[in-house]
Amino acid sequence: MEFTALFLAIVVAMLVAWYGSRTLALSLFAAVLIGCVATFLHHATDALKLSF
């Protein structure tokens, strides 16, 4: 679910970059980038339960 939200946020940021102001587009991009890093760190630190 969070990947869908991140994808939609990227789409909104690109639309704002195309039609809107530069500062709003850069701030949305920064927010999406922080969200992507937070999602990556959340999933990268999960312990894998492997049984062989």
Model confidence pLDDT, tens digit, residues 2-48: 899 999 999 999 999 999 999 999 999 999 999 999 999 998 888 88
Flag whether 52 is in a domain.
no
Flag whether 22 is in a domain.
yes
Predicted pLDDT of residue 45: 85
Predicted pLDDT of residue 1: 87
Flag whether 6 is in a domain.
yes
Predicted pLDDT of residue 8: 96
Flag whether 27 is in a domain.
yes
Q: Measure the CA–CA gap between 23 and 1, rounded to whole angstroms.
A: 28
Global pTM value: 0.79
Give the range of the structural domain holding residue 31, as residue numbers without chain letter: 2-36
Predicted pLDDT of residue 39: 93
Q: Measure the CA–CA gap between 13 and 43, rounded to whole angstroms.
A: 24
Flag whether 32 is in a domain.
yes
Flag whether 48 is in a domain.
no
Contacts of 35 (CB under 8 A, 6+ apart): 6, 9
Number of domains making up the chain: 1
